[in-house]
Structure 1
Amino acid sequence: MPPLTRWFLRTALAWLVLAMLAGVAITLPTFGPGALHAALQPVWVHLLMVGWVTQMIFGVAWWMFPRPAPARSFGNPVLGWSAYAALNAGLLLRALSEPALATAPGPGVRAALVASAALQFLATLAFAATIWPRTRGT
Structure 2
Amino acid sequence: MPLLTRTFIKTAMVCFTLALMLGILLAAGITNGFFPVYIHLLVFGWLTQLIFGVALWMFPKYSNEKMRGYETLGWWSYALLNSGLLLRAIAEPIQSTQPNPLSGWTLVLSAILQFLAGLLFVFNTWQRVREK
TM-score (structure 1 length as normaliser) = 0.91
| Aligned-CA RMSD value | 1.2
- Tell me the equivalent position of 2:10: 10
- Tell me the equivalent position of 1:25: 25
- Tell me the equivalent position of 1:112: 106
Runs of 4+ that moved beyond 4 A:
none
Distance 1:107 1:133 in 2: 40
Q: Within the alignment, does 1:85 sit opposite 2:79 as a pair? A: yes
TM-score (structure 2 length as normaliser) = 0.95
The one-letter code of the counterpart of 2:79 is A
The one-letter code of the counterpart of 1:76 is Y
Aligned sequence identity (%): 47
Question: Equivalent of 2:129, from 108, 122, 135?
Answer: 135
Distance 1:51 1:71 in 2: 30
The one-letter code of the counterpart of 1:41 is F
Change (3 A) 1:96 1:11: same
The number of aligned residues is 132
The one-letter code of the counterpart of 1:56 is L
* Residue 95 of structure 1: how far off its partner (Å): 1.0
Change (3 A) 1:128 1:27: same
Secondary structure of 2:65's aligned partner: coil
- Tell me the equivalent position of 1:102: 96
Distance 1:115 1:18 in 2: 22
With 94-103 and 11-20 compared, the bigger mean Cα shift is at 94-103
* Residue 69 of structure 1: how far off its partner (Å): 4.1
Change (3 A) 1:2 1:88: same
